[in-house]
Amino acid sequence: MNRIRIILLSFTVFMISACAALTPNTGAPATDTDAAASAQPLAPVRLGVGYIPNVQFAPFYVGIEKGFFADAGLEVALDYGFENDYLALVGTDELQFMVGSGDQIILGRAQGLPVRYVLNWYTKYPVVIFAKSAKGITTPADLAGKTIGIPGPFGASYVALRGILEAGGLTEADITLESIGFTQAAAVSEDQVDAAVDYGVNGPIVLAQAGIETTQIDLDDHLHIPANGLITNEKTIQDNPELAAQMVRATAQAIQYTLEHPDEAFEIALQFVPEAGGENLDANRAIFDASLAYWRPAVDQTLGITNLADWQEAAAFMQRIGLVSEVLEADTLFTNQFLTSDK
């Protein structure tokens, strides 16, 4: 079988800065107030988003194109790279904002980095274990004795693997773990492994595009770890809370707009990632549509908010599997202060 081509989701690091802060066109006539506001210089913000330009970053493209960041007084530029690199930069205040997950916050705080999570974007942890449907792998316990592919023993993929194994009463000794880099779709397709750990909008979507049915085991069905969101540092929160508030609220506005106007948001994303169009259009629209489910809050959930119980559960889990030496105080890991009136 030909190797499955992973479309626009290579995890090769491209350190590209997409410094596109476009002036919004509201369609309304200019006023003296508008002119005065436009005369105010925008505060430059460099946001570390991870990986490479991709339709999965649509809310940030929307925030730039629709002027939500500019309206908040910000000129946002996007940097692309690895989450761990950005965590160190934010922790030392060389960078003030990044996108990262709750487990990264826990690891960073354990290493003495004063980072804090200030807005939830992904309402579900985006990493899954997936397999061909014919393999019959539908529960964590089904992984016993199986060969599982993973990029490597690091990052969100490894955290999800350990959480899912624990849910099945398993340890790494109960499976064969193979480091396969970022070739999960091809490895599963060609039966090099029984299952693989990957983002739910990556490997399973790629195989679906190729007509291969899969099953997925979601970490969220067994363990709640705050997923990707906006991270800053204690210095920014203490010394420049208005900047943090502006960034949080504009990002939340952009996420909400993306959820309410998916077709327009996808078209905006194509302006920033033109290679996602053309022959890749259908595949990337499928990826984008699948991503929306990870961004949409539950009925009883407020966009951007995380809760103390989830952070306590995540902190205890990270200590239990040995990734940190002690259970961190959960209320030091996050704040909702920029999204609620309760400061």
For 198-250, how does the pLDDT look when each residue is reduced to its tens digit (9 = 90+)?
999 999 999 999 999 999 999 999 999 999 999 999 999 999 999 999 999 99
Under 8 Å between Cβ of 11 and 184: no
User: Which amino acid, residue 131?
Assistant: A
Q: What is the largest CA-CA distance in the chain?
A: 70
| DSSP labels, 263-287 | HHHHHHHHHH-GGGSGGGHHHHHHH
**Helix/strand number for the chain, H first, E second:** 13, 11
Domains of the chain are: 17-124+226-332 (3.40.190.10), 127-221 (3.40.190.10)
Token pair 């996808």 in the structure block, residue? 266
Count of CB atoms situated within 10 Å of the CB of 277: 16
pTM for this model (two decimals): 0.86
Token pair 């943090």 in the structure block, residue? 244
For 58-84, the pLDDT digits (tens) are 999 999 999 999 999 999 999 998 766
Check residue 334 and report its DSSP letter: B
For 328-343, the pLDDT digits (tens) are 999 999 999 999 854 4
